[in-house]
Amino acid sequence: MENSKRDELRLSLLPQNNVEKEQEVRETLGWRIWAESKKMWVVAGPAIFTRFSTFGVSVITQAFIGHVGSTELAAYALVFTVFVRFANGVLLGMASALETLCGQAYGAKQHHMLGIYLQRSWIVLFMCTILMVPLFIFTAPLLRFLGQDESIASTAGTIALWFIPINFSYMFSFTFQTYLQSQSKNLIITYLAALSLSLHVLFSWLSVVKFSMGVAGAMGSMILAMWIPIFGQFGFVLCGGCPETWKGFSWDAFRDLRLVIKLSLSSGAMICLELWYNTILVLLTGNMKNAEIAIDALSICLNISGWEMMVSVGFLAAAGVRVANELGAGSARNARFSIKVVVSTSLSIGVVLFTLFLWFRGSLAYIFTDSKAVADAVADLAFLLAFTILLNSVQPVLSGVAVGAGWQGLVAYVNLGCYYFVGIPTGIVLGYVIGYQVKGIWIGMIIGTVIQTILLVYITWKTDWDNQVALAQTRVKKWLLPPKESKHGQENL
């Protein structure tokens, strides 16, 4: 104890630069990794579990619908992979702007701004959700126009209508998650997600198996599962769960919306171009021979990949929060180190999952289907799926770094070039011209993702993080409303 006090006294008498150097010497690599890992897992752990639960709701729905019939399964796969993924990409992408703003403001200790940013994001995302409603109303004719089978398109049109209230739930789900993650208060989301997942299994079994309600029963249960957590999150925030960052509804939410929309659009472009990549894969598959089996097999592969992706998306959230917090706090050194820790951790888990999938690949498909033909098609795609799983353990995390630093516009151009000018054309040539069918299309898509990952690694490695600190602090000051000007309590709605 006396030695510790003497060390503290000696450090206090040293010049500031010498203090920082001595502290760096005292911080061993192992100690820094442990400290950063604890901060990372505070965000990543609940984020992974929450995304597992949320994604599990859609997968459980697909599993129950798959046992209703193969046409219903293909229709659900098309709606979810094409239209819901499109809408999900728009809303998730635009909500990622909130992650940049909240993370950097919280790191800069401008806590009162987080509630205002949250309300601004609600306004922007609500407008976007309204604009996307016709997409679900006219799903059937759109699928017919794209050349899909008539029976699948007709069933998909009915299923799409059930997704309208689910789509409105995303605008609250994504923003609440981002808002709470930025302040490391996302355990409440985890508890609510676990509750909704448990109830969804029960309600789906009752409605589909016990009472034979078919697609209507499965989709009705899904709507309840998506909205139950949102009511719980509203209750948590409004009843004092975030006293530093939530001061009530404010008219300030309507200020600077133009700037919010601009950042949200660049964020949306980045995420959408990434998520729509798989959508195009499914659409191209729909025009091949034995389209129903091909779509079923591919949707199962994408769902298995999606489960692993939830781990990486959890680390994406952790990377975004940690990088944004450290940049907002003015520490380029800690921001760089947090990137190394989160990428290494995610890659290690990806290697383990890659190995486990190759071991169990022959039996996983039967979770989703009773068809041997579909299961055999899934096994045929096993190696490509395993490689995708490994790749997914790195690429999304680097996207999280981009979100934390506010590079959404730059990464949108990278995604556009790699995915749409390289990946898709290569896939079309391999799949249709050379005749590799689904495998060829998927190989092309993987090539695009590999190039994108390499470019993101290069951009991250060559970035001047001291300059990023300056840019983050400029952004915080530009958007800042001092507490006395924000007028919470005086201008509350």
8 A C-beta contact, residue 382 and residue 358: yes
**For the segment 329-365, what is each residue's pLDDT rounded down to a tens digit?**
888 888 899 999 999 998 998 888 888 877 776 676 6
Q: What is the pLDDT of residues 272-291, one digit of tens each?
A: 777 667 667 666 665 555 55
> Which stretch of 19-28, 126-135, 230-239, 471-480 has the lowest confidence by average pLDDT?
19-28
Q: pLDDT at residue 325 above 60? A: yes
| For range 413-428, the mean pLDDT | 86
Q: What is the pLDDT of residues 304-318, one digit of tens each?
A: 777 777 788 788 888
User: Is residue 201 very low, low, confident or very high in pLDDT (cuts 50, 70, 90)?
Assistant: very high
Q: What is the pLDDT of residue 361?
A: 67
**Band of residue 478 on the pLDDT scale cut at 50, 70, 90:** low
pLDDT of residue 27: 61
The pLDDT score that the predictor gives to residue 7 is: 47
Q: Who contacts 352 (Cβ-Cβ below 8 Å, separation ≥6)?
A: none
Give pLDDT, residue 222: 93
Lowest mean pLDDT among 59-68, 184-193, 279-288, 328-337: 279-288
Confidence class for position 18, pLDDT limits 50, 70, 90: low
Q: Is the separation of the CB atoms in 170 and 128 below 8 Å?
A: no
Q: Is pLDDT at 412 greater than 70 in this prediction?
A: yes
Predicted pLDDT of residue 220: 92
- Would you place residue 42 in the very low, low, confident or very high pLDDT band (cuts 50, 70, 90)? confident
Tell me the Ramachandran region of residue 289: left when phi exceeds 0, alpha when psi lies from -120 to 50, beta otherwise.
beta
- Enumerate the domain spans of the chain: 42-482
Mean pLDDT of the 2-25 span: 48
Report pLDDT for 4. 44
Band the pLDDT of 481: cuts 50, 70, 90.
low
Averaged pLDDT, 367-377 = 71
Stretch 376-391: mean pLDDT, rounded?
Answer: 79
- Residue 57 above 60 pLDDT? yes
Residue 31 has pLDDT above 90, yes or no: no
What pLDDT is attached to residue 491?
43
The position carrying tokens 């049109």 is: 157
Question: In whole numbers, what is the pLDDT of the chain averaged over residues?
Answer: 80
Res. 3 pLDDT band, cuts 50 70 90: very low
Among 56-65, 253-262, 401-410, name the most confident range: 56-65
Highest mean pLDDT among 88-102, 258-272, 391-405: 391-405
pTM for the predicted model, two decimal places: 0.74
